Each structure stands twice: as structure tokens, then as C-alpha cells.
Amino acid sequence: MAGRLRLLVPIVCSTAFAGCGGGQSPLSPKSKPAHDISTLWWWMLAVASVVFLGAVFMITIAWLRRKREGLPYLGRRENVANGLVVVFGLLVPVAVLGVVFVIANLVVTKDTDAPAAGSTAMSIHVIGHQWFWEVRYQGTPAVTANEIHIPVRTRVDVAVNTADVIHSFWVPELNRKIDMIPGQTGRILLYADRPGQYRGQCAEFCGVQHAHMAMKVIAEPAATFRGWLANQSRPARAPTTPAQRLGRQTFLTTACSDCHTLRGTAARGVIGPDLTHLMSRSTLAALTIPNRPDELARWILDPQHVKPGNKMPGLKLDAAETRNLVDFLESLK
Amino acid sequence: MATVASPEAARRVQRLERVWRERPGLLGWLTTCDHKRIGILYLFTSLAFFAAGGVEALLVRTQLIRPDNGLLGPEKFDQMMTTHGVTMIFLFVIPISIGAFGNYLVPLMIGSRDMAFPRMNALSYWLFLASGIFIYTGLFLGHGPNAGWFDYVPLGSKQYDPGPNVDFYALGLIFNGVSSTAAAINFIVTIFKLRAPGMSLNRMPLFCYAFLAVSFALIFALPPLNVALGFLELDRRLGFHFFDVAHGGDALMWQHLFWIFGHPEVYIIILPAFGIATSIIPTFTRRKMVAFPLVALAEILVAFIGFGVWVHHMFATGLSSITLVYFAAASLIIVVPSGIQLFAWITTLNTGRPEFKTPLLFICGFIIFFLLGGLSGVMFAAIPFDQQLTDTYFVVAHFHFVIFGAAVFPILGGLYYWFPKVTGRMYHERTGQLSFWLAFTGTALTFFPMHIVGLLGMPRRVYTYPGGMGWSDYNLLESIGAYVLASGLFLIVANLLVSAFRGVRVGPDPWGGATLEWATSSPPPDYNFPVIPKVTSAYAMWDREDREEDARKLTRGDLVLERGHETPASTVLDADWDEILEMPSDSPWPITLAAAAAGVFAFLLLGHWLVAGVFGGLCLAVLAAWHRQEPQLA
Ligand SMILES: [Cu+2]
């Protein structure tokens, strides 16, 4: 039955929703948990549609027969009317709801539960910050932000925490969401059937820039992933040109280093994202802008314009300082 | 009873007029304790807040009309979105349904001359008005509530929200809660004790069942909210650590406390709407409700089970799966009483001869929207689906169909339905139907596409969104819908305002209604009924002999009670004659007490504890004065 449904899903999906397949739609699942949830949805939609259309049909009948008393065929016997209420208002709903309960809450929910201990190949620790995601790869020194690389077709255990307020970790094409609540650790499975990029977004209102707290999961072949992780585990590259050296100087002597970490240097700030391998990311500020030199310069000069209210202040840097700083940051491959 | 049969009757009516006469002018309105005038005050005030909440909604929708729009910045947006929610729930739906409809209609429907505690009734109103002004003061000073209407901590804590925004929210809602609690107690006593002789509980209109259930629900639901808000203020103002994890507090406790209140609140919002529906449907189908006892039972059950489902707002917080399964089961069970009512309404429509006038159209809209909201609600009792779609626009669609489509549509229909009773004039029917279709289309257009954007992954409470996600067209549609809806609502107000002055005059009972409010003239006299009616069924107005007997009693002087400012009390279950109650007339103390209470809250907000204490003392003094002035014989 599930197999037949799986065939049905993309058809209904592509005709009903033009937006399917792009972005972060729960209706374009790319893993078993997300798939089961979307199948559950289509079934529930089918049942709900029958109920809804049935009721609309009855109201239409009431309108068509507004001049006549009683029900078609059944007439105006009061006990028939009461019986209808008992059957359709009480018995049928109880039966339908019972089925929904068993399938959804006893069967499907198993797929979306936190992964059993030891059932996963690797663990990632994601920490929500106002308004970005800190990502740590357990057992390695690798720390990154907002772009989570995982090996494809591998069960990955994600443990989530928050550094401040409640956030919610949600990559809908891969799994349901899990809240990040102070004082507790949430756990969820990440698994991707196919290589690709899957967008996610904070799903609990967390303050002014809740709207710009997005992320993406990048599922790639195991070998690519291992190469990426090895690079992430290394300290920051040393500058190679005079401009880069000046830029690094600026970074280490201004407030940048109070908030950001560059592993292998004196910059150990923990308020903002780890910038050790900034250039391995394709976006900045939790997917708010692309990671291009001009955008990077714009961000450093006036982050409050790009993402109003975020926790990074604009520092007063002159044109040369900014150019050198961007030069340096561009070298952090 | 416009026609008075005999000279004795005329004398009695004259005396009633004199005893019950309301003080004229502004002072009369400020000191009134008449449930009808208080109902009208509630009506205009809550409609004003409805307009404010509507403007906020339009601003929010205009900001979201296209991706990366810059109309409202994030801080303004958050204030608008939060104040919209707080306003619609605490300052519009509850006050209009309980305060306006309940106050005006419950005493009339049970054949009483007032609420059980008329001065407390006035106090509820003035407290409500003051709390609304309190919350809006924050908004106008640029410090409106901004952490969402459920104000999760730690986002709502001092550390992450250092301005006074959340203090306006927390103190304002405690303030507002006092008003609702007083109103609820008043309704319970009124419904239990002031029913006309013969109106045993099984002959009580379903409307009153709904208000009884709501009042009990309010009394039990508000304490957890007040506790939560109290803890929050202690944390914020005095450095306590109830919700502060770093010092052994628990952030999740806020969510439990809030939703133990918040879910019953949903039923508190919708039950009066059920009551309105069960009043309008029999009138316009010319038949009694199908399955009356089942519907009455369902109304009570909904209010009761509503207390056992709160965790379904927290399915993504990582609670143990056994907890989730339990609350999911409860959330499915609560669907059943709603299913019964829904089917009872539909069957009544089918077996009667429905006349689709404006009020009934709104009820049909209500049934359709309630179905939509109910069906998507069932889906949220499926744990994995909930965990996937919660906090997306799918939820926004769901609860707007429930709270706007299902709770507000009957209120709009009710405005039309009881308009002739309150004003003595008829609204304009064609314009009424047009306003229905505008509001119906607007609602569908605004909220239906939200299901789809939710399913496409758009989270709620975002002040903007990127293009290219497949969300933009739907958002545009929603924003257009919001304006269509606003025009429908505007048309309703215009229709009623114009008709209040120009409408055709009508008699006591233009619809052939079933309940006692139609027994008296339109608008009702200050004393409601010249004769306290005697009731022998749940459809008192359809018992012709009983009503003719009332007229004869006026001549005989039976149950007229014209000697004093009086109304009869009856026994709780059977409504047998019990005693005669002396009712207070106008009083300056309720408004004074509310003003003093406003002083307390204002100075708590400002942190002047001492001055707040002085105002607290003033409250006690006013209470003492109030207590000394017991009702006098007229
Ligand atoms: Cu967040």
C-alpha cells in the first residue's frame, strides 16, 4: 500500500503545488521520516476531503430543499434525525479518529523518533544562537555555521541546544522539527536519500531576526564529505600576501576577535560564528546574503543594514582596512 | 409587550418604569449597572479593539504582500503581530461574546431583570476597558508587546526583552483576567439562580449552556495564566528565577502553564459561538434543534476535556513519547463532541425549512469554516504531522479558521440577528447578504492559501521571506484577501450603523424566535419584562399559551414585582420559585474601583511600588464604601 502511495505522491504534488521540489517543503521529502510524514498527510487530506465535501453536500441539499421539511427519502421522523447525529456525529468520527490515532501515533511516529543510541554513524552538535546556527562535529575540532555537511545515505545523530532563547531545528525535507530549549538537549535523525542541498529554517519565534535564521544541509558522497571535514578540522590558513597580513592584523586587534573565533590564532570570541573556514560557506549571516566579496564587504561595513537588529555591530573601519580585511577573510578557505 | 390590556396593568407598568428608570446622560452610562447598557458598552469597546486589531492585521499582511518587503521593520512587525493576537483574543472575541452578547442576552433569555451581581458586572466592564487602554498605551509609546501572544521565555525575559514591552503584556493580561474572572462568576450565579420559574436546567436554552460552560472554563483556565504571568513579572522585575535555567528555573514550565490556560481558551472563544449558532439555526429553520440533550452535553464536555489537551501545543519540545501519545489521544477525543454538534446543526438545517437570511448565512459560513479548522485540527493530533507542520503557516491557517471563521462568524451573524432586538429596527437585508459574501470570500482567500504556504515550509511569525520559495504568489493572494475581508467587515458596520437610524421599525419578535428575549419589546424596557415569564419548555416563545398567560398575569399583578427594584431567584436544578432579590441600581463605585485598580497596575509598571500600594489601599477603601451602600428599596 505504501508503495502505491509513494507513486501517487509526486503526481498529486506536482499538480497541486507548483512550488514543490524547491526550497524547504515538507511535501518534497528526501528521506524516510519526511516521506512517511508526507504520506500520512496525503491520506489525512483524502479522509478530510471526504468529510468536508460530505458536509458541504448536505448544506447544499438543505438549500435546495429549503421549501420542504424533512430529509430526502427519510422524511421528518425525529428519531431518524437523532439517529443520524449519533451515527455521523459520534460513531463514524470515533472509528475514523481511532484509525488516525493508531497509524499516526503508534506507527509513523516511530520513524521520526530520536535515533536509538548507537544506531547512527556519526554525531553533530547544533547550537542555536540569535540568529545563526553553530555546528560542531563530534570527535573533531571542526566548527562551522549555518551550512551543515553530512555524508549521503548515512544516519546522522543531531543533538541540539541553545545558547540563548528557544529556537527550533527544522529541515523539513529530511525530518520533522525539534525545539532547542535552554537546559535540555533535543535529538533528531538526519538522513538524506540523495546528494543535494536541503534548506531549513528556525521554527520557533526567537526575536527580531527570526525570519533570517535559515540554514542548509548539504548531503554529499562520503569521500567528498571526508575531504570537507578534514579541511574544517584544520586551523585557519596563514595569510600569504601583505594585504592579507594587514587584514589579519585588523581582525586580531579590533573587536572582531572578541566575537569570532579563528582557530589557530588569538581570536577566540564565541558570540558570532566561527570564521576559520569562512570561504567554505556559500552564504553569510544564516543564508541572508550570498558569500561574495562585495556582499562580505557590505556585511562588515554595515551588518545592521543587511540584517537589522542582529548581534554584530558595524565597526568604524576605513576603506583600506575594509579592503584588506575582506582580502584576508577571502583567504580562509 | 407594547399593548397593555387593562388600567391595572398600565399602572403596574408605569410603576415598573419609575422604579427601574436609568439615570439619563453621560453620568448614567458611567454609573449604570443595567446589563443591557453594560452589554452595549462592551459591544462598542470590543468593536473598537476589533478595528485596532484589524488594522494591525492589515499592516502585517501588507508587510508580507511580497518577498523582502520593507514596509515595517522587524521590531514594528513583532509588535504588530503580538498586539494583533493579544487584542483579538483578550480585547475583542472574549469581551464581545461574553461581555456584549452574554450580558445583553443571558438575563433576557432566562427571563430575569438583570445579572446576579449588577455592580460587579459594571466593574468587569470598566476593568476590561482599563486593561485594554493599558496594553495599548504600551503600543502607542512604541513599547507594545513583542514576544508573540504566547510570549515564550526566555525570549520574554528581561535578558532578551529588556524594554517594558513584555511588562505591558504581563500586567495588562493579569488586569484583564480580573475582569474576565468577575464576569465568569457573575454568569454562573446568574444562570444557576436567576432563571425564570419553570426553566429547569433541561429547559434552558442551549445558548445559556454555552455560557455556563464558558464561565466554568474561564474560572479554571485563568489561574494558571495568572500564575505564569505573576512568575514572569517576579523574574523580570525582582530578579526571581522561575524560568531562568541558569539558576535552576525551568523555561518549559512557562509553556505548560500558558497552554493549560491557552487550550481551554480556544474553547472559551468558540463556545459562545456555538451558543449563537444554536440560537440562530432553530429560528431560521422553524424547528427545534435535533438531538438537544446530546448538544447540551457536548457543550459541557468540550469545556471539560479542553483542559486535558494542552501538550499538543508542545509536541516538538522533546517530551517523552508516552506523554505525547496520551495528549494526542485526548486531542482526538475532544473532536467527538464537536462532531456531534456539527452534525446536529447540519441535520437541523436539513430537516427544517431554512430561510437563508443574513444571520443564517453567517452560520453556514461558520459551519464550513469550523469544519475546515476542525479537520486541520485533527491532523495536529497526529504527532509526526504536528512535529512537521507546527509553527508554520499551516497552523496559522488552522487557528484562523477556528478563531476567525468559526468563532467570529457567528458573532457577526449574531450582530445581525439581535440587531432588531437592541435597536427596534431592521438592518438592510440585501446589504447584509452582500456583506456576508464579501466576508466569506475574504476569509477563504486570506486563510486558505496559508495551508499551502505552510505545507511549502513557510514558518509563522517571520517579518519577511525570500523570493523563489514558491511562497510569494500565495502571500499576495492572502494579502488581497485580507482587504476583501476588511471591506466585508466595513460593510457590516456601515449597514448596522445606518440601519440603527434609518431601518424599518420592528415589533418585539421579528423573526419568530424561540427564546425569551423575543417576548419583550424591542428595545427591551429597563426592567426587561413587565411580568416574569413562566417557562414550560426550552423553546419558551413557541409556547403560545404561556405567553398569553403572561399578559393576563400583568392585569392580575402576578409575578410583576412592581413594588421594588426586584427580580426573582429560583432553585438551581428545577428553577422553582425561591425568593425575591433586591437588585442594586446605578452605582459610582465600580468605575471608581476600576480607576483605582488602573492606578495600581500603572505604578507597578513604572516600578513605584509604594504608590502602587497606595492605590491598592484606595481599592480597599472603595470596596468598603461599595459594601456599605447596599441596595435600597425604591
Ligand atoms: Cu531561532
In angstroms, the CA B305 to CA B311 distance is 13
Q: Please state the rounded mean pLDDT for residues B53-82.
A: 96
In angstroms, the CA A274 to CA A134 distance is 8
Side chain identity at B105, as an amino acid letter?
L
Check whether residue A225 and residue A259 sit in a common domain: no
Spatial neighbors of B527 by CB under 8 A, at least 6 apart, are B16, B17, B19, B20, B113
In angstroms, the CA B601 to CA B616 distance is 9
In angstroms, the CA B20 to CA A246 distance is 89
Distances (CA, A) of A3 to A8, A15, A36, A39: 9, 20, 11, 10
The per-residue b/e assignment along B567-604, b for 16 or more CB within 10 angstroms, e otherwise, is bbbbeeeebeeeeebebbbbbbbbbbbbbbbbbbbbbb
> Residue B523: is the preceding peptide bond cis (ω within 30°)?
yes
Contact B347 A81 (CB under 8 A): yes
- Return phi, psi of residue A306, to 5°: -70, -40
* The pLDDT value given to residue B5: 65
Radius of gyration of chain A (CA): 27
In a domain, A1, yes or no: no
DSSP 8-state assignment for residue A144? E
Q: Which residue has the cell 447540519?
A: B346
* The pLDDT value given to residue A148: 96
- pLDDT band for B631, please (50, 70, 90 cuts): low
Half-sphere exposure of A79 (CA within 13 A, CB side): 0
Which of A141, A150, A136 lies closest to A273, judged by CA? A136
Distance between Cα B386 and ligand 1 center (Å): 19
Cell numbers given for B197: 420559574
- Return phi, psi of residue A178, to 5°: -140, 130
Contact A23 B469 (CB under 8 A): yes
Nearest CA in chain A to B374: A48
Nearest to B347 among A25, A85, A308 (CB): A85
Which of B438, B435, B441, B443 lies closest to B499, judged by CA? B435
- pLDDT band for A16, please (50, 70, 90 cuts): very low
DSSP A214-279: EEEEEEE-HHHHHHHHHHHHSPPPPP-SHHHHHHHHHHHHSTHHHH-B-TTSS-B--SS---TTGG
Nearest to B356 among A63, A68, A78 (CB): A63
Report B:270-289 residues touching A (Cβ under 8 A).
287
- pLDDT band for B630, please (50, 70, 90 cuts): low
Distance between Cα A24 and ligand 1 center (Å): 16
Strand partners for B581? B567
In angstroms, the CA B83 to CA B87 distance is 6
Q: Please state the rounded mean pLDDT for residues B401-413.
A: 96
* B316 touching A (Cβ < 8 Å): yes
In angstroms, the CA B123 to CA A241 distance is 77
* The pLDDT value given to residue A174: 96
Check whether residue A134 and residue A218 sit in a common domain: yes
Angle at A314 between CA A309 and CA A318, to 5 degrees: 165
The per-residue b/e assignment along A69-90, b for 16 or more CB within 10 angstroms, e otherwise, is ebbeeeeeeeebbbebbeebbb
Contact B468 A22 (CB under 8 A): yes
* The pLDDT value given to residue A18: 33
* The pLDDT value given to residue A8: 40
* B383 touching A (Cβ < 8 Å): yes
Least confident of A122-136, B1-15, B233-247: B1-15
Check whether residue A260 and residue A198 sit in a common domain: no
| pLDDT-above-90 percentage for chain A | 76
* The pLDDT value given to residue A142: 96
- Return phi, psi of residue A186, to 5°: -95, 155
Report B:51-90 residues touching A (Cβ under 8 A).
73-75, 78
Check whether residue A43 and residue A100 sit in a common domain: yes
Spatial neighbors of A207 by CB under 8 A, at least 6 apart, are A130, A131, A165, A309, B78, B155, B160
Q: Please state the rounded mean pLDDT for residues B535-549.
A: 90
Nearest CA in chain A to B75: A208
Cell numbers given for B177: 483576567
In angstroms, the CA B618 to CA B621 distance is 5
Q: Which residue has the cell 425525529?
A: A78
In angstroms, the CA A81 to CA A62 distance is 14
Check whether residue A40 and residue A107 sit in a common domain: yes
In angstroms, the CA B578 to CA B573 distance is 12
Q: Is A316 helix (H, G, I), strand (E, B) or coil?
A: coil
Query: pLDDT, tens digit, for every residue of B478-507?
Result: 999 999 999 999 999 999 999 999 999 999
Contact B325 A105 (CB under 8 A): yes
Length of chain A: 333
Distance between Cα B132 and ligand 1 center (Å): 30
Helices (H), chain A: 2-16, 32-64, 78-86, 92-100, 109-112, 222-233, 242-253, 256-259, 293-301, 303-306, 319-330
Residues of A in contact with B325 (CB under 8 A): 105-106, 109
* B382 touching A (Cβ < 8 Å): yes
> Hey, what's the torsion of the CAs at A177, A182, A185, A187, to 10 degrees?
0
In angstroms, the CA B504 to CA B491 distance is 18
In angstroms, the CA B576 to CA B574 distance is 5
In angstroms, the CA B282 to CA B360 distance is 10
Q: Please state the rounded mean pLDDT for residues A118-124.
A: 92
Q: How many of the other CB atoms lie within 10 Å of CB of B123?
A: 27
Q: How many of the other CB atoms lie within 10 Å of CB of B435?
A: 27
Check whether residue A268 and residue A224 sit in a common domain: no
Which of B132, B120, B124, B127 lies closest to B99, judged by CA? B124
User: Å from B332 to nearest chain A CA?
Assistant: 6
In a domain, A95, yes or no: yes
Helices (H), B87-205: 94, 103-109, 118-140, 165-193
Tell me if A133 sits within 8 A of A149, measured CB to CB: no
Query: pLDDT, tens digit, for every residue of B230-255?
Result: 999 999 999 999 999 999 999 999 99
Q: Please state the rounded mean pLDDT for residues A305-331.
A: 93
Contact A52 B351 (CB under 8 A): no
Which of A229, A312, A299, A237 lies closest to A269, judged by CA? A312
In angstroms, the CA B342 to CA B406 distance is 11
In a domain, A4, yes or no: no
User: Å from A181 to nearest chain B CA?
Assistant: 7
Residues of B in contact with A70 (CB under 8 A): 351
Q: Which residue has the cell 466593574?
A: B123
Cell numbers given for B347: 441535520
* The pLDDT value given to residue A118: 86
Q: Is A83 helix (H, G, I), strand (E, B) or coil?
A: helix
In a domain, A34, yes or no: yes
Least confident of A56-70, B75-89, B223-237, B493-507: A56-70
* The pLDDT value given to residue A90: 87
* The pLDDT value given to residue A214: 96
Distances (CA, A) of B144 to B65, B87, B131, B133, B147: 23, 11, 14, 12, 10
Residues of A in contact with B356 (CB under 8 A): 63, 66
How many domains does chain A contain in total?
3
HEC string of A183-195 equals: CCCEEEEECCCCC
* The pLDDT value given to residue B371: 94
Q: Please state the rounded mean pLDDT for residues A115-128.
A: 92
Side chain identity at B78, as an amino acid letter?
D
Q: Which residue has the cell 522585575?
A: B237
Q: Which domain holds residue A215?
A: 122-232
Which of B415, B421, B458 lies closest to B435, judged by CA? B415
Check whether residue A226 and residue A251 sit in a common domain: no
| pLDDT-above-70 percentage for chain B | 98
Check whether residue A310 and residue A287 sit in a common domain: yes
- pLDDT band for B4, please (50, 70, 90 cuts): low
Element (H, E) at B339: helix B335-351
In a domain, A237, yes or no: no
Average pLDDT, chain A: 89
Q: How many of the other CB atoms lie within 10 Å of CB of A67?
A: 8
* The pLDDT value given to residue B632: 52
For the cut 60, the answer to whether the pLDDT of residue A276 exceeds it is yes
* B609 touching A (Cβ < 8 Å): no
Query: pLDDT, tens digit, for every residue of A200-236?
Result: 999 999 999 999 999 999 999 999 999 999 999 999 9
Last-in-domain residue among A65, A89, A112: A112
Average pLDDT, chain B: 93
Tell me if B332 sits within 8 A of A101, measured CB to CB: yes
Strand partners for A129? A132
Q: Is B241 helix (H, G, I), strand (E, B) or coil?
A: coil
Last-in-domain residue among A79, A112, A145: A112
Query: pLDDT, tens digit, for every residue of B163-204?
Result: 999 999 999 999 999 999 999 999 999 999 999 999 999 999
Check whether residue A325 and residue A264 sit in a common domain: yes
In a domain, A218, yes or no: yes
In a domain, A12, yes or no: no
Distance between Cα A214 and ligand 1 center (Å): 9
Side chain identity at B42, as an amino acid letter?
Y
Query: pLDDT, tens digit, for every residue of B106-160?
Result: 999 999 999 999 999 999 999 999 999 999 999 999 999 999 999 999 999 999 9
Check whether residue A137 and residue A183 sit in a common domain: yes
Residues of B in contact with A197 (CB under 8 A): none
Q: Which residue has the cell 551543515?
A: A148
Contact A63 B354 (CB under 8 A): yes
Nearest to A211 among B346, B388, B463 (CB): B463
Nearest to A40 among B336, B372, B384 (CB): B384
Check whether residue A198 and residue A249 sit in a common domain: no
Tell me if A96 sits within 8 A of B374, measured CB to CB: no
> In this predicted complex, what is the ipTM?
0.91
Last-in-domain residue among A74, A94, A112: A112
Check whether residue A246 and residue A286 sit in a common domain: yes
* B154 touching A (Cβ < 8 Å): yes
Give the distance between the most distant pair of CA atoms in chain A.
Answer: 95
Least confident of A85-89, A280-284, B198-202: A85-89
Query: Side by side, which strands form the sheet with A186-190?
Result: A143-145, A132-137, A122-129, A156-162, A186-190
For the cut 80, the answer to whether the pLDDT of residue B69 exceeds it is yes
In angstroms, the CA A219 to CA A199 distance is 11
* The pLDDT value given to residue A15: 35
Nearest CA in chain A to B344: A85
In a domain, A47, yes or no: yes
CATH of the domain at A142: 2.60.40.420
Tell me if A125 sits within 8 A of A143, measured CB to CB: no
pTM: 0.93
Q: Which residue has the cell 516521506?
A: A35
